[in-house]
Amino acid sequence: SQTIHQWPATLVQPVGSPLSLECTVEGTSNPNLYWYRQAAGRGLQLLFYSVGIGQISSEVPQNLSASRPQDRQFILSSKKLLLSDSGFYLCAWSNGGRYNEQFFGPGTRLTVL
C-alpha cells in the first residue's frame, strides 16, 4: 500500500530564516506531487505541483520554491521566511491513473515569529 510522509510535523522559525520541508511517497512510482498551504481556518492554496523529476509548476509567485530531486521526493524551500509564510503545509500525491484521487500527508505546521 502507499504511504506519504512529511517532516517535520511542527516547526517554529524566525523571520528571515531558511526553510526546508520534505515529503516522500512510498509504494508507488512516478506520482504527481503537490504542495498546498492552509492558513488558519482557511481553505487549501495550491503552491506547487510536479509531474516528474525536475518538473515543477508554480501556482503562486512568492518566496517559496520546490524541488523534486527523486521520483518520490518533493521538497519545499525558502531562503528567507516571512511572517505570512505561517500556516499548515500539506503534501499530496496522485497517480493520474484510473482513480485520480489525491492522498495527503499528515502536514507540517509552520509558525514564523
Q: CB under 8 A: which stretch of 15-23, 42-50, 60-68, 78-86 binds other proteins? A: 42-50
8 A C-beta contact, residue 66 and residue 35: yes
Alpha carbon 99 to chain centroid, angstroms: 21
Count of residues that interact with other proteins, criterion CB under 8 A: 25
Residues from 20 through 39 that contact other proteins (CB under 8 A): 32, 34
| Torsion angle, alpha carbons of 23, 49, 79, 106, to 10 | -30
Binding residue (CB under 8 A) for other proteins from 23, 90, 110, 112: 90
| Strand duo 10-13 + 19-26: pairing | unpaired
What's the grid cell of residue 93?
500525491
Q: CB under 8 A: which stretch of 21-29, 65-73, 77-85, 103-111 binds other proteins? A: 103-111
- Give the CA radius of gyration of the chain: 13
Interface ranges with other proteins (CB under 8 A): 32, 34, 42-44, 46, 49, 51, 57, 59, 88, 90, 92, 94, 96, 99-107, 109
